[in-house]
Amino acid sequence: MEKKKKKVFVEGPVAPSFIADAIAKHQSKTTIGAHDIFLGQVRADEIDGKTVTAIEYTAYESMAEQKFDEIREATFSKFNLTCMHIYHSLGTVGVGELCLFVFVSSPHRKVVFEALEFVVEAIKKEVPVFGKEVFADDSYQWKVNT
């Protein structure tokens, strides 16, 4: 099991090429039989007649990194995973761009489905990351996770 502490935050959007590289690196891990991936993408929500153009993410980084570690440990304790990777954006992420990349691997498929849902829900509920939804007129509102 891969449980070492890893840096979670990336500046700006998570690049599709980064995701492709992460997947490719796992081809040599022949005990893995299944992967599951969650990609969070910024939506162009319409709120009070205004359309979101980007989200600016901020965090209490040390607290957030600690919470990511706790979630990772809890997930490895609960599920038979081979490895797990979590990357979350900081800074500005435009609509259509990716802000969250969670990648779990296990010998069997059912485990990755359950583990991925567990991880993503825990992140949304527990990690102190804040999103400021920015509108075309530069006004904004703070995003509430649901």
Q: Can you tell me the distance from the alpha carbon of 80 to that of 33, in angstroms, rounded to the nearest whole number?
A: 12
Where residue 37 falls (left for φ over 0; alpha for ψ -120 to 50; beta otherwise) is beta
pLDDT tens for each residue of 85-94? 999 999 999 9
Q: What is the dihedral of CA 77, 123, 126, 1, to 10 degrees?
A: 20
pLDDT tens for each residue of 11-24? 999 999 999 999 99
pTM: 0.92
